Amino acid sequence: MNDDVWLVIPLYNEEQVIEGVVRNARLTFPNVCCIDDGSSDGSALAAERGGAVVVRHPVNLGQGAALQTGFEYVLTDPSMRYAVTYDADGQHQVSDVVAMLDRLRRGDLDLVLGSRFLEGTIEAGALKRVILRLATAFTNWTTKTKLTDAHNGLRVLSRPVVEALDIRQNRMAHASEIVGLIGGMQIDGRPVRYAEMPVHILYTDYSRAKGQSVWNSVNILAELLWR
Amino acid sequence: MRTLLVQIVLILATVAIVVRFLSGVGQRSQAVRRVALLGFGVLAVASILFPETWTMAAQLIGVGRGTDLILYMLVVAFFSFMATTFKRSRDADIRYTKLARRIALDEADTPEAHRARRDAALPSGEKNREEPGDASGEASGPAA
């Protein structure tokens, strides 16, 4: 069961939590690929202890580059039918992936995106909420997609979508870039079919401490404008 | 007399820069840049010898002083330099990323090898799973 699913986890200095995250995910999804993005701590070994296969970037390239490396790795497995983009810091929940995957397995969609705003399940602060909304509005406007949450890291993609993706934004703007690529994507000569499903993000003290500051939205905007 | 000294120093510096950039091996794409640079050097020397030409040119297009005209041109040149440098570093980034990714993928276990190692660790039972998992994790580190 779920042998045709690969979890793709970009990994950068998450030594404290990654083993537990991988171990927990592997109870449901046996195939986990962590892309160690030049961590300076023991993240890669911790991920291997958890049972993940680890692809090591020789230098730090950024999260977007790590995702693309993960996609290219899982494509080398001919039995892979679905790839899941998943966070290393433990803020995503396996139950959400299961629900999204069940939806995708019905076969009438090409990918399912997680959204923090569909059920009002977000626990983030007011400022972060406003910025996420603005970022989503901007992304919808520039990419001609209609999403409620364009910067969610939890996505379930079918193999044809993984094959079609080519992320070039190495740093932070890759989330918007993925949405942009999806907005213009054709699969078998028809526009890609996608849907959003509610996900529940756990904002723990750990993830809050590691998470992006709202200042980073300025960097994301700049990267998008000068790509 | 002092003006002459400044002119000599500036001309020597300009010629040195032009010669520095013109030397070396290159392709046809570089040739255009080099011709432009040669022209730039000639212009630079001319404007050192005859500074009033800039003021004439500035007044011709309604800028006023020659120094202002040069400042405006410098701003434009600086921004175009920034733009081309940015584009070039982005292209270099993309190549560098592809190279690093190729190395990362080549050094990683294949999905088949990973699965085989995992399955080999499994049969000893769920309870012992952590220890063989540990061992294989550490063994694969230096080997990879």
State the pairing for strand pair A194-198/A111-115: parallel
Give the C-alpha distances (Å, rounded to integers) separating A146 from A162, A182, B7, B36: 20, 11, 64, 49
Decide if pLDDT at B108 tops 60.
yes
Q: Confirm whether B6 is domain-assigned.
A: yes
Which of A77-91, A175-189, B71-85, B107-121 is modeled with the greatest confidence?
A77-91
Residue A46 pLDDT more than 70?
Answer: yes
Q: E strands of A48-154, at which residues? A: 53-56, 82-85, 111-115
User: In the Cβ-directed half-sphere of B26, how many Cα atoms lie within 13 Å?
Assistant: 12
Residues of A in contact with B105 (CB under 8 A): 55, 69, 72-73, 76
Return d(Cα B26, Cα B4) in angstroms, integer.
Answer: 36
Under a CB-based contact definition with an 8 Å cutoff, are residues B17 and B41 in contact?
Answer: yes
Average pLDDT score over chain B: 77
- What confidence category does residue A96 fall into, taking pLDDT thresholds of 50, 70 and 90? very high
| pLDDT at residue B139, rounded to an integer | 41
Q: Is residue B8 part of a domain?
A: yes
* CA distances, A187 to each of A73, A159, B124 (Å): 21, 11, 44
Task: Report the domain count for chain B.
Answer: 1
Task: Tell me which chain A residues have a C-beta less than 8 angstroms from the C-beta of B133.
Answer: 49-51
Domain for residue B121, yes or no?
no
pLDDT at residue B137, as a whole number: 41
| Tokens standing for residue B113 | 């090898």
Domain boundaries, position B38: 1-50
Question: Are A110 and A161 within 8 A, CB to CB?
Answer: yes
Express each pLDDT in B11-53 by its tens digit.
888 888 777 776 655 676 677 777 888 888 888 888 888 888 8
**Maximum mean pLDDT: which of A58-72, B1-15, B112-126, B128-142:** A58-72
In the predicted structure, residue B4 carries a pLDDT above the cut 70: yes
DSSP A66: H
A22 neighbors A58 (Cβ within 8 angstroms)? no
Which range has the worst mean pLDDT, A84-88, A133-137, A219-223, B71-75? A219-223
Contact check, Cβ <8 Å, A49/B144: no
Q: How many Cβ pairs within 8 Å bridge chains A and B?
A: 67
Q: How do strand A194-198 and strand A186-187 relate by DSSP bridges? A: unpaired
Prediction ipTM score: 0.83
Q: Which residues pair with A54 in a beta bridge?
A: A34
Cβ proximity of A69 and A123 under 8 Å: no
CATH for A5-225 is 3.90.550.10
Cross-chain residue pair B118–A65, CB shorter than 8 Å: no
Q: Do B111 and A69 touch (CB under 8 A)?
A: no
C-alpha A25/C-alpha A19 separation (Å) is: 10
A129 vs A31, higher pLDDT: A31
What are the pLDDT digits (tens) for A164-219?
999 987 776 788 888 888 888 888 889 999 999 999 887 777 766 665 666 777 77
Question: What is the CB-side half-sphere exposure of residue A64 using CA atoms within 13 A?
Answer: 23
Q: Is residue B79 part of a domain?
A: no
Distance from CA of B138 to the nearest CA of A (A): 7
Indicate the pLDDT class of residue B86, thresholds 50, 70 and 90: confident
Per-residue pLDDT for B126 more than 50? no
Of the candidates A30, A49, A73, which has its C-beta nearest B134's C-beta? A49
Any domain includes B133? no
Q: How high is the pLDDT of residue B79?
A: 85
Cβ atoms of B132 and B121 within 8 Å: the answer is: yes
- Contact residues, chain A, for B141 at CB < 8 Å: 44-45, 48
Of residues B43 and B122, more confidently modeled = B43
Q: What percent of chain A has pLDDT over 70?
A: 90
CA distance A97 to A11: 19
Structural domain includes residue B10: yes
For residue A120, the model assigns a pLDDT of: 62
Whether the CB of B110 is below 8 Å from some CB of chain A: the reply is yes
Please report the DSSP string for A130-151 in residue order.
HHHHHHHHHHHHHHT---S-TT
What band does B104 get if pLDDT is binned at 50, 70 and 90? very high
Write the pLDDT tens digit of every residue in A120-138.
Answer: 655 666 777 777 778 778 8
